[in-house]
Amino acid sequence: MSEVIWGLATSHVPSIGAAMDHGKTQDPYWKPLFDGYQPARDWMAEHTPDVAIVVYNDHANGVDLEVVPTFAIGTADHYQVADEGWGPRPVPDVVGDPELSQHLVESLVDDGFDLTLFQDLDVDHGLTVPLSIYCPDPGEAWPCRVVPLLVNVIQYPQPTAARCYALGKAIGRALASYEPDVKVAIFGTGGMSHQLAGARAGFVNPEFDAMYLEAIQTDPERLAGLSREELIRMAGSEGIELIMWLIMRGAMNDEIRRVHETYHVPASNTAAALALFDNRVQ
Amino acid sequence: MTTHDLPGTPIFDGGASRRGLHMNQLFMSLRSAANRERFTADEVAYCDDYRLTPEQRRAVLERDWQAMVDLGGSIFYIYKLAMMDGRSMQYLGGVFSGMTEDEFRAALIAGGRTDV
């Protein structure tokens, strides 16, 4: 039987990837963030999954505004790293897991989640930066297969926090009925508080972020009750990305153990965080 | 209060997406090196190919970033044009919030704009 072994909540700011790609992680600007990642990286390196489900959003690279799927899943065996306008990141292409994707699609549709399917998808920083945060030096290939799960967080109305949490629960049920003996990691990406446009650009809310970082483990129901308006007001117009963490959380057990967390302002215009949870609490 | 009434917080909704579709498609096209070259060679003709409204065309050609947002641009799409000009997200943040790029960057390093 498959088993979720850990969940990683992490920001996916493009400049975090650029700092790694250009050898700037020891610069004073970036060092505190990368130092904060290290204990989580060390632990994850000892607990390699067979496959990772990465919940993320595309940023005008794999998908444009002609079609705006609320929830979508990749079903391919290979995903090319997107050229976002300055050439693709120098990281390996992503190897998919079409068998798991197909199982998730069937189980989730039967469970009332009618996902859009991507048979061809270029993956952007929303997916590759979290992979780099997990594994900074992948060499020729990432350490595990990847199933991309995309959420529309760019165009209003985004799915509700409650719907994201329910989708996570449904993913947990789907994995529980997946017979191959695979170890699964699940990534919830985006956030924390930030706003890119408008007079409130640069908004950061450390109190809200601290609450969210704690409650994602201990009280996800509370977070699932936040409205779109509350999320945008308290986390900024792009901070609403935090709903994607609830998909990760929903797929995990009620009781999880916090392995490590870190929080740092800024990564470019964003409050950046990482929280790593062990799903196997004895 | 609804989501759309938050001061200083543009909401990219269905109406904005319809208004901005062609302009956002232009920005999206700049992912390819060949298109970036073609845009740089003749920005006016490139805008005409994408059927921008006169207001959108002016905003793009004059790099009026705020107007691009007001006319249906999504920040993630607008950013692709900014990158062609060598402009950072901190520069754009400064434009939107009435600061220089250095002031905006300093405000973030100081912990972000917690009072807005």
What span, in angstroms and rounded, lies between the C-alpha atoms of A170 and A173? Answer: 5
pLDDT tens track for A50-84:
999 999 999 999 999 999 999 999 999 999 999 98
Nearest CA in chain A to B29: A85
Check residue B4 and give its pLDDT: 74
CB within 8 Å: B7 and A199: yes
Whether the Cβ atoms of residue B112 and residue A202 lie closer than 8 Å to each other: yes
Span A35-54, average pLDDT: 98
Q: Where are the alpha helices (DSSP H) in B1-116?
A: 14-29, 33-41, 43-49, 54-61, 65-70, 75-84, 89-97, 101-109
- CATH of residue A177's domain is 3.40.830.10
pLDDT digits (tens, 9 = 90+) for B58-74: 999 999 999 999 999 99
For domain B13-85, the CATH architecture is Orthogonal Bundle (1.10)
A65 touches chain B (CB under 8 A): yes
Neighbour count for residue A172 (Cβ, 10 Å): 18
User: Which residues span the domain enclosing A193?
Assistant: 3-278
Cβ–Cβ < 8 Å for A244, A151: yes
CA distance A86 to A92: 17
B72 contact A CB<8A: no
What would the pLDDT profile of A222-255 be if each residue is shown by its tens digit?
A: 999 999 999 999 999 999 999 999 999 999 999 9
Q: How many CA atoms lie within 13 A of B25 on its CB side?
A: 13
Tell me whether residues B14 and A85 touch, CB distance under 8 A: no
**In chain B, where are the structural domains located?**
13-85, 87-116
Cα distance between residue A107 and residue A248, in whole Å: 17
Tell me whether residues A156 and B14 touch, CB distance under 8 A. Answer: yes
B-chain residues near A195 (CB < 8 A): 9
Q: Which two tokens stand for residue A185?
A: 């990691």
Q: Name the amino acid, one letter, at A19.
A: A
B12 close contact with A: CB closer than 8 A: yes
- A242 in contact with B at a CB cutoff of 8 Å? no
Q: How many Å apart are CA A188 and CA A195, to the nearest integer?
A: 19
Confidence of residue B3 (pLDDT cuts 50, 70, 90): low
d(CA A4, CA A79): 23
Strands A78-81 and A94-95: antiparallel
Residue A241, φ and ψ in degrees, nearest 5: -50, -25
Chain B positions in Cβ-Cβ contact with residue A83 (cut-off 8 Å): 31-32
Joined together, the tokens standing for residue B39 give 């845009």
A75: amino acid identity, one letter: T
Shortest distance, CA A153 to any CA of chain B (angstroms): 10
* Mean predicted lDDT score pLDDT of chain B: 95
pLDDT at B15: 96
How many domains is chain A built from?
1
pLDDT digits (tens, 9 = 90+) for A144-199: 999 999 999 999 999 999 999 999 999 999 999 999 999 999 999 999 999 999 99
Cβ atoms of A174 and A111 closer than 8 Å: yes
pTM: 0.97
The answer to whether A247 and A187 have CB atoms below 8 angstroms apart is: no
Token pair recorded at residue B15: 């109406």
Closest CA to A272 of A229, A222, A238: A238
Active site amino acids of A:
125, 194
